Amino acid sequence: MVASSEITIQLKSYARSIGFSLVGIACAEKADTYGEFRDWLEQQFHGSMGYMQRRADAYESPAGVMPDSVSVVMLGVNYDNLAEENVEPGQGKIARYARGAHDYHDILRDKLYLLAQELKRLVPGCRTRGTVDTAPLLERDFARKAGLGWIGKNTMLINKHQGSYLFLASLLTDAELVVDTPHETSHCGTCTRCLQACPTEAFVKPYVLDARRCISYLTIEQRHEPTDESLRPYLSDWIFGCDICQEVCPWNRRNLAASMTEFKDREDLEQLDLVMLLSLSEEEFHERFKNTPMMRPGRAALLRNAAMVAGNQKLVTALPALFALMADEHESELLREAATWAIEQINSAFEKK
């Protein structure tokens, strides 16, 4: 079914009215970077994220998500919070995207539902499916095809006016909407700040990330395995995610506020007290972080991260909590091993003195 240009204009206007910073439309065709994605998988750069390998074929085109899809409405939401990045001793850092009071998946799915209902009002009988980074869709590829920006050397989508602190979402439909001109140029130029700033050297080369060395992967996705000891010092203060390659990007100098009020920071999530974290029971963990992205790694992995940060900071005040975790036979081996390592780091600082 073919939609008029007026319908496309109305749909975009509605998307902006409900809080989306960016909106563009691409054809539901083969993803331009699918070949590079398969090469990336073959080199095992996805680490333990096996779901990518299992669904590799589905990433080839939006048909892998919604058969008979014709158009992809790509949407971007700025989540920058303008927060200062100073961390006091005894605190751990959280990536900006995770500091809101609610999980962004839930917020964006609600917005996508509203947008889908509006499209069905404009094009009766059309089918839709909304996705928020959990479906096998190469979102950054289609965001570029929809004119929202370019894929930077740090593999993030960058928009000239909005920077890269962006949540991406998509609405697939069998309605034929008017497509936008793809963003064909890159504005990274000769800049390599993001590549040079990465403490773990996770970028194999520009535009290629080895997730196995990425701090975000190590603190969120690698939930059941201990972190490579050679990488632990480079986690520095990060207990959940990492923003380093975005913090140094010149295109993020504008300091824009989040475009949806739902993403306003919870003050208690800007930084987290390490001793408090290390003392959380399973029940307390769920109560404190329910409905937030912090739930993804689970208690054991998040406390593992807190233990490593305490070790990096040589945090003496964390020793009682670390000893308690190390000695508790009911705790996971993952957490007990991290607590033991942290204690060794703290003790070694005194031995050197």
Distant-in-sequence, close-in-space partners of 245: CB < 8 Å, separation ≥ 6: 154, 156, 194, 195, 197, 198, 203
Phi, psi of 245, deg, nearest 5: -70, -15
Tokens 């506020």 locate to 257
Evaluate whether 269 touches 292 at the Cβ level (below 8 Å).
Answer: yes
Task: Name the active-site residue from 39, 57, 106, 133.
Answer: 133
Catalytic annotation on 133?
yes
Active-site residue numbers?
Answer: 133
